[in-house]
């Protein structure tokens, strides 16, 4: 085995850059020489403050201590997302991270619940999900009895990048400060080096593009095209602002629909992240800002920040000797908090397929195939929220209600409506319960359900449903308040 290390150059910092650096150095550090290039003068997006539960397993993989991370990033716990005004103007439903009820191999729990409802009992589907009921009661613990609770985090994205940078540099990652002025390639089209504004040349064997929407390497230099999905997802703008916390943090994100977009509210320990996502075709920047600022719960502590984007993805995330990670590989609006998840799955794939030499054409092809499937599933899930609206109070919602949707999503919706069947894709992110909660939350009630739910006689089904419902209620009653758990477990160090 040769002693020479593969030289990896990461272009760009922020969450995607420093998460890339720390992931590689923590798992493959003995095989790689890692340099990250960034400029203090280039700001990061820094508003991706909500996550999904997959981040916990990823943190364990790369050796991040939960309490240390949460204290450093003023983090809170997240049990799901509450959607307000999406189906109709006064509607509200919850997409939780928990398992609903108890499934069987033949039929999902929502089908047993539908049978119970048809027989006149069963209550609300929400009553059977511990995480959902705990969220609404503002309660949290990592587990109750023998049951682990499924959760994610809200955190300060800028502090997260700083946290990861410190760990990366301590582990041996080299940081180079400066603008990238020139990207050099060899005769085969592979990148060979980055030249900085001060004239310094950073050579490498493999390059990771974390330059955000600019996509300096994968887009500008390697000329990989971008697949525009704005015909499916019309939003192209966002405004973000931070506010003082005026109440104890709740353990969930809020996504509140407006006449031409939606607003997020993400509670941290000592402030709240807010923003509005909208389409400039249907709403002016001034009106968007007015809507956002008029619907805040605390005093602003930052200037509103404008963002522009085009939803979609790179035609190839891996091309030549370069992989795009984060915004340089594509963007799906933050409705389901998937941005950081897509960074972690990109890095997992890269570490599994890392090109230590030889022909990598087939590796890159497989990598790009998996990225495509994953992005399309998340895209469909986001479209689902918009397309199933019954709102007719604005051109924005008229557009979404009547637009043509991907065949993959139309197929999924039709099967659920006709038969109540939902499934998990091979590479897809969202569980059956996630699809069920959003489809039902947005108004699709199946016309029939699997008759396996009728195997139990009425009294037996009633007893089973009562046991499950009581189990959830009793568990929630024993949980501490979310804010109390945070104060004991991971109090913020500083803002």
- Please spell the DSSP secondary structure of 153-195, one letter per residue: EE--HHHHHHHHHHHHHHTT-EEEES-EEEEEE-TTS-EEEEE
SS3 state of residue 206: strand
Catalytic residue among 78, 139, 167, 320, which? 78
DSSP-H helix ranges across 241-392? 285-293, 339-352, 361-387
Which burial class, exposed, middle or buried, applies to 262 when counting CB atoms under 10 A from its CB (0-12, 13-18, 19+)?
buried
Strand partners, 272: 243, 267
Pairing of strands 330-331, 312-314: antiparallel
Total residues belonging to the chain: 495
DSSP string across 235-273: --EEEEEEE---SPPPSSEEEEEETTEEEEEEE-SS-EE
DSSP 104-161: -SSS-HHHHHHHHHHTT----GGGG-HHHHHHHTTB--SEETTEEPP-EEE--HHHHH
Q: Are 342 and 313 in contact (CB under 8 A)?
A: no
Q: How far apart are CA 450 and CA 494, in angstroms?
A: 53
Strand partners, 302: none
Tokens of 42: 């280039």
* Phi-psi category of residue 89: left, alpha or beta, with phi > 0 → left and psi -120 to 50 → alpha: alpha
| Active-site annotation holds for 78 | yes
Nearest 5°: phi and psi at 345? -70, -35
**Backbone CA torsion sign across 321, 322, 323, 329:** negative
Residue 217 Cα to chain centre, angstroms: 24
Start-to-end CA span in the chain (Å):
47
Separation CA 79–CA 152 (nearest Å): 6
Q: What does the DSSP 8-state code read for residue 295?
A: T
62: its two tokens = 């790369």
Whether residue 138 contacts residue 481, with contact meaning beta carbons closer than 8 Å, is answered with yes
Residues that are catalytic: 78
């Amino acid at each position: 085995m040769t002693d020479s290390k593969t030289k990896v150059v990461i272009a760009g910092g922020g969450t995607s850059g420093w998460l890339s650096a720390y992931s590689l150095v923590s798992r493959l550090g003995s095989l790689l020489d890692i340099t990250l290039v960034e400029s203090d003068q280039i700001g990061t997006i820094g508003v991706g403050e909500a996550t999904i539960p997959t981040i916990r397993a990823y943190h364990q993989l790369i050796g991040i201590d939960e309490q240390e991370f949460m204290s450093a990033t003023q983090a809170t716990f997240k049990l799901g997302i509450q959607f307000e005004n999406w189906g109709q103007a006064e509607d509200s439903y919850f997409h939780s991270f928990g398992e609903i009820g108890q499934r069987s191999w033949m039929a999902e729990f929502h089908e047993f619940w539908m049978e119970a409802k048809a027989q006149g009992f069963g209550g609300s589907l929400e009553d059977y999900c511990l995480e959902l009921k705990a969220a609404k009661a503002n309660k949290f613990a990592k587990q109750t009895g023998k049951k682990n609770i499924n959760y994610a985090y809200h955190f300060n994205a800028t502090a997260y990048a700083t946290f990861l940078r410190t760990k990366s540099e301590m582990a041996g990652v080299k940081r180079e400060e400066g603008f990238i002025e020139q990207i050099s390639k060899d005769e085969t089209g592979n990148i060979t080096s980055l030249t900085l504004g001060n004239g310094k040349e950073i050579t490498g064997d493999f390059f990771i593009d974390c330059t955000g929407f600019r996509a300096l390497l994968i887009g500008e230099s390697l000329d990989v095209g971008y697949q525009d999905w704005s015909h499916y997802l019309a939003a192209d703008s966002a405004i973000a602002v931070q506010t003082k916390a005026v109440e104890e943090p709740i353990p969930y994100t809020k996504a509140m629909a407006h006449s031409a977009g939606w607003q997020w509210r993400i509670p941290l320990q000592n402030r709240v992240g807010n923003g509005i996502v909208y389409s400039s075709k249907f709403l002016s920047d001034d009106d968007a800002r007015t809507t956002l600022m008029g619907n805040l719960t605390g005093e602003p502590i930052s200037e509103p920040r404008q963002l522009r984007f085009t939803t979609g993805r790179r035609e190839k995330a891996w091309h030549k000797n370069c992989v795009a990670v984060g915004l340089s590989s594509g963007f799906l609006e933050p409705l389901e908090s998937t941005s950081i998840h897509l960074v972690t799955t990109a890095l997992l794939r890269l570490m599994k397929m890392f090109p230590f030499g030889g022909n990598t054409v087939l590796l890159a092809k497989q990598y790009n195939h998996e990225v495509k499937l994953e992005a399309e599933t998340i895209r469909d899930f986001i479209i689902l929220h918009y397309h199933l609206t019954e709102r007719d109070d604005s051109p924005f919602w008229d557009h979404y209600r009547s637009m043509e949707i991907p065949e993959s999503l139309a197929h999924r919706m039709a099967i659920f409506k006709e038969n109540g069947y939902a499934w998990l894709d091979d590479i897809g992110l969202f569980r059956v319960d996630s699809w069920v909660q959003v489809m039902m939350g947005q108004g699709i009630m199946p016309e029939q359900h699997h008759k396996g739910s009728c195997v139990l006689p009425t009294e037996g089904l009633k007893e089973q449903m009562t046991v499950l419902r009581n189990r959830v209620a009793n568990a929630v009653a024993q949980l501490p308040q979310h804010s109390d758990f945070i104060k004991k477990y991971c109090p913020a160090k500083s803002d």
